Amino acid sequence: MTTISSYLLFVLLGLGAGAAYAILGLGLVLKFRSTGVVDFGHGAVAMFAAYVFIQLRSSGVLELPWIWLPHEVTLSSQGLGTALAMLIAVAYSAVLGLILYQLVFRPIQGSSALTKVCAAVGVMLGLQAVAVLNFGTQGRSTPTILPSGIVRVAGLIVPVDRLYFAGLVVVLAAALALVYRYTRFGLATRAADENPVGASLMGLSPTRLAAWNWVLASVLAAVAGILISPIATLDPSSYTLFVVPALGVALVARFRSFAVVAATGLGLGIAQALITKLLTVWTWLPQQGLVAGLPFILIMIVMTVFTPRLAARGDQARSTNPSVGTPRAPFRTALGCFVVGVVALFLLQGSLRSALISSLVTACICLSLVVLTGYIGQVSLAQMSFAGVSAFTLTHLATDLGWPFPLPLIAAALVAVPLGVLLGLPSLRLRGVNLAIVTLAAASAMDAFVFAGGWFSGGDAGRNIGSPRLFGWDLGIARGHEYPRVIFGVFVLLVVCAVGVAVARLRMSATGRMFLAVRSNERAAAAAGINVSAAKLLAFGYASFIAGLGGCLLAYQQGNISGSSFGAFASLSLLAIAYVAGVGRIAGAVVAGVMLSPNGLFVTLADKYLHVGVYATLVAGLALTLTAIQNPDGIASTKAGARGAGDALVRLAKKFNAHGENVGAPLGPPSRFQAKAADPIEVQWSGERG
């Protein structure tokens, strides 16, 4: 085979993944244009459809998206035909999309970007968790769907199915573009996109339009999932994360142009395939991460360099920020917590003591989100990446270079600061959901380049870290058979209490006021002499330092760490539990660590006595979604979080009332205009009298 033709073969092979990115991207555009939601769960829907398809095709069993209740319905004793299985999977996906829209995304229309991000992340985690429970994590494959032969064109070997893929993408994009351009449905959706209130005054129903768009998008997700299932091994997490490159594609198209989505999606697939080829030719290229990391690099460049302003519809809505606490007497509170914590460390034994220590470590990392998301309102889906960078730096400083404790702890946490500030740079231009996408891309890029292997993270073996020793005093979690040791728990508790006090002081300080001012209103903050950019970067710096400290504690706790602890999913789950628990409050971080963290005290207890630990992710996803719908502020923000279900209903009712008021709102202004118009007339009269 000639060199040129071998390159062309890779180009064609790339069309497979590229088609999946493009079709998923088309669905993301539909969802965004109709509801302003960037659906992180879009890939999970595709994943589910692919499972349904494969199961139907291989064994004739229909998989339903729930647990406990019987979730397998046998439609046929042997597999269904490919076309029928496909049809059922697509219809299934459409219904799933409609249900998700009605239950989750319709109620939060008009909520803040953070709420929408969390709801979408909750759906994603929930679907993924159900898939893990019902299907396991073992990869599955299925025979090809499209004609798989090869044709020879001018001496080139061309796999036919890839041509079908590309053709399908072009057809779909063209069809959508035509529908949006020329049909009443498309026109109405565009109108509602431009001006929801105006559209509803014209007799269009934005919610019905959104529901249809959502169904259409879910159908596309199913198509993508089914098409790619023969060429990419199906497992819950990799298909769910297909959403990240698809987001990149949708972003390049500014969540608008279908044609750009199609072209970028295919182009991205081709670029990835070509890089795979080039790596074998240009061996000086970084062998690790380039293929997987490329989409994320693309996202970051596009969003930070070429995108001054995205039409984020969520920005129009009166944003409801999570409430923040006003900590009183932080020292006394911290002292109280310390005493309670020490007592608990002595009382608990074995796995429960470990769980308590895990809770504390998680609480520490969550405190970074209290500063960043709570105080200054910046969504970050990369906090675990900072924790990871610090954790690995710690192993290098302490184990390899032999720095004496506590120097490596502090230095490693400081290493996360410039990284955090770097990630903060996009936040100077991007807000809300757009920032969330960039940070998720950054986390995924770090996964690919830093945590997947190499000298820094030690690959599969991970890296070891010895016990911290202070003046010859062993603070480590293990000594001989003694594990976990109370003294290590006390050390962690001390660090967490200190961070807690600092975060509380920050809230009540001039810096905290400045952060809150920026969160409330950037325009007004600038008018008050606040350098908004500097304030954001400062917050990113503080937050990544705290996350870095947490990562170091995690490293000391585990003794051996590997990159898998710090993946993009870990960051997503972290934001999820921090948000559910109340991301504006220190108590929220503690609740997140103790009650919600998958390795934390409560879940471990529940698992020990009720054996429900396998459901932790599912519960986290559900809780996240429900919290986003019912209470944008999180649990810790309600009065002791104990108002009960009745109150939740009242809240929901109020929310619907609020929607009603919004519809009435356009009637307000005219009376004000009248009042204004009256003023000059009065002036004229007084002038005449004078």
Partner 1 sequence: MTALLEVHGLTVTYGGVTAVRGATFDVPAGRMVGLIGPNGAGKTSLVDALTGYTRPSGGTVLFKGQDITSLAPHRRARVGLARTFQSIELFDDLTIEENLAVASQHVGLLFSLRELVSRARPVDRDAVDLALSICNLEAVARRYPAELSHGQRKLVGVARALAQRPSLVLLDEPAAGLDTDESFELGTRLRAMPAYGTSVLLIDHDMSLVLTVCDEVMVLDFGALIASAAPAQIRRDPRVIAAYLGSRGDGDDD
Minimum Å distance from CB 649 to partner 1? 24
Which among 131-139, 175-183, 518-526, 643-651 is the span making contact with partner 1, rule CB under 8 A? 518-526
Which among 74-82, 140-148, 212-220, 506-514 is the span making contact with partner 1, rule CB under 8 A? 506-514
User: What are the φ and ψ backbone dihedral angles of 473, each rounded to 5 degrees?
Assistant: -100, 120
Minimum Å distance from CB 521 to partner 1? 5
Candidates 313, 519, 536, 585; binder of partner 1 (CB under 8 A) is 519
Minimum Å distance from CB 323 to partner 1? 8
What is the DSSP-derived secondary structure letter of residue 450?
I
Query: What is the rounded distance in angstroms from the CA atom of residue 312 to the CA atom of residue 131?
Result: 31
Which CB atom, from 42 or from 536, has the smaller least distance to partner 1?
Answer: 536
Tokens of 99: 């249900």
User: What are the φ and ψ backbone dihedral angles of 643, each rounded to 5 degrees?
Assistant: -80, -15
* DSSP annotation string for 365-401: HHHHHIIIIIIS----S-HHHHHHHHHHHHHIIIIIS
What is the DSSP-derived secondary structure letter of residue 75?
S
Which CB atom, from 323 or from 385, has the smaller least distance to partner 1?
Answer: 323
Asked if 682 touches partner 1 (CB under 8 A), the answer is yes
Candidates 184, 328, 523, 611; binder of partner 1 (CB under 8 A) is 523
Which CB atom, from 154 or from 675, has the smaller least distance to partner 1?
Answer: 675
Minimum Å distance from CB 690 to partner 1? 7
Residues 661-680 that bind partner 1 (CB under 8 A): 676, 679-680
| CA proximity to 435, closest of 118, 114, 29 | 114
Asked if 520 touches partner 1 (CB under 8 A), the answer is yes
Residues 529-548 that bind partner 1 (CB under 8 A): 529-532, 534-535, 538
Per residue in 401-432, is it b (16+ CB within 10 Å) or e — as a string?
A: eebebbebbbbbbbbbbebbbebbbbbebbbb
Q: How many residues bind partner 1 (CB under 8 A)?
A: 39
Query: What is the rounded distance in angstroms from the CA atom of residue 90 to the CA atom of residue 107?
Result: 25
Asked if 517 touches partner 1 (CB under 8 A), the answer is yes
Query: What is the rounded distance in angstroms from the CA atom of residue 244 to the CA atom of residue 268?
Result: 12
Tokens of 494: 């001390």
Asked if 516 touches partner 1 (CB under 8 A), the answer is yes
Minimum Å distance from CB 324 to partner 1? 6
Asked if 526 touches partner 1 (CB under 8 A), the answer is yes
Which among 2-10, 266-274, 470-478, 500-508 is the span making contact with partner 1, rule CB under 8 A? 500-508
Asked if 511 touches partner 1 (CB under 8 A), the answer is yes
Which CB atom, from 445 or from 517, has the smaller least distance to partner 1?
Answer: 517
Tokens of 215: 């169904």
Which CB atom, from 70 or from 529, has the smaller least distance to partner 1?
Answer: 529
Query: What is the rounded distance in angstroms from the CA atom of residue 412 to the CA atom of residue 410?
Result: 5
Binding mask 293-312 for partner 1 (x = CB under 8 A): --------------------
Cis peptide before 484 (omega within 30 of 0): yes
| CA proximity to 128, closest of 237, 259, 26 | 237
Tokens of 633: 């502020």
Query: What is the rounded distance in angstroms from the CA atom of residue 596 to the CA atom of residue 619?
Result: 9
Asked if 496 touches partner 1 (CB under 8 A), the answer is no
Which among 53-61, 218-226, 528-536, 638-646 is the span making contact with partner 1, rule CB under 8 A? 528-536
Minimum Å distance from CB 680 to partner 1? 6
User: What are the φ and ψ backbone dihedral angles of 163, each rounded to 5 degrees?
Assistant: -65, -40
Which ranges of 468-531 does DSSP label H, i.e. alpha helix?
A: 486-508, 510-520, 522-527
Which CB atom, from 154 or from 527, has the smaller least distance to partner 1?
Answer: 527
Query: What is the rounded distance in angstroms from the CA atom of residue 449 to the CA atom of residue 293?
Result: 7
Which among 220-228, 267-275, 516-524, 558-566 is the span making contact with partner 1, rule CB under 8 A? 516-524
- Write out the residues near partner 1 by the rule CB under 8 A: 321, 323-324, 502, 505-506, 508-511, 513-514, 516-517, 519-521, 523-532, 534-535, 538, 676, 679-680, 682-684, 686-687, 690
